[in-house]
Amino acid sequence: MMARVIVTRPRREADLWVQQLRDRGLVAQALPLIEIAPIPDPQPVADAWRRLHLYDAVMFVSGNAVEQFFALKPLEMSWGATSPADAPRAWATGPGTRQALQQAGIADADVDAPDVAATQFDSEALWLRVAPVLSPRSRVLIVRGSDAAGRSAGRPWLSDQLQTAGATVDLLPVYQRLAPAWSPVERALAAEALHDGSVWLFSSSEAVLHLRELLPGHAFGAGRAVATHPRIAQAARDAGFGVVAEARPALDDVIASIESFR
């Protein structure tokens, strides 16, 4: 019998993945390890929309970044408000973010992202795509999340590369990434899933960190996990997971890794 899959993405993405996995015959359950919350002050986002024509590119770190950025758009503004020629390029690190941009009305021809056949979807893969068109006069807006203290979430690798190349980089938090507040039922489910053969699906090192914080004192040695990036896989190993597999964050690749646990 196929093991249960514990999907740890934020709620919106987790529910989508659970449905896709169930459609493919797997037993899957959402247990988000990152909570997406509104930012306290949306005014900087509205201001960024009004300055959009000044940027050569806007990089979105996730589908949540796309959704929140467009949800906070002033009514009178649009992508390429003055003319289509004024619209910046939209950058995405993976297919989920690219799809969110399409749903927001951005033409795929205006999106720069790693090829769908790329071995990995991350900042490094995006950098290979966009670096050749940068100049010291380039100006890039990075749309991302923040933690509870307002600090930018995620690693600054792409921002560092851009600034080293001479580009001007602005960071814009459009949502908060927080540890979830689990109910006793969710806490019991997580503890059970570490020992009953379930396969944890991790798409963020931050999710692994939150799991460790939410289950202090628990042994993870019997746990099994699939991680969608080598850095995330290492975080799971560091947490003590006994078996960790790696997969691209594409449905077929994830399923293949899950099935390898049979």
Show pLDDT as tens, one digit a residue, over the chain (262 residues).
568 999 999 998 999 999 999 999 999 999 999 999 999 999 999 999 999 999 999 999 999 999 999 999 999 898 875 555 678 999 999 888 999 999 999 999 999 998 877 777 788 889 999 999 898 899 999 999 988 777 776 778 899 999 999 999 999 999 999 999 999 999 999 999 999 999 999 999 999 999 999 999 999 999 999 999 999 999 999 999 999 999 998 899 999 999 988 7
How far apart CA 232 and CA 245 sit, in angstroms, is: 10
How far apart CA 79 and CA 150 sit, in angstroms, is: 26
At 82, list the tokens.
């003055």
- 7: which strand partners? 30, 201
Would you state the pLDDT for residue 83? 55
The pTM score is 0.86
Closest to 256 measured CA to CA, from 1, 9, 17, 21: 21
Domains annotated on the chain, with CATH: 5-33+180-259 (3.40.50.10090), 41-178 (3.40.50.10090)
Would you state the pLDDT for residue 85? 64
Residues 6+ apart with CB under 8 A from 173: 39, 44, 144, 145, 146, 150, 152, 153
Q: Strand 5-7 relative to strand 224-227: parallel, antiparallel, unpaired? A: unpaired
Closest to 177 measured CA to CA, from 48, 260, 68, 70: 68
Output the CA–CA distances (angstroms, integers) from residue 71 to 45, 64, 74, 78, 192, in the order listed. 10, 10, 9, 12, 37
First and final C-alpha spacing in the chain: 8
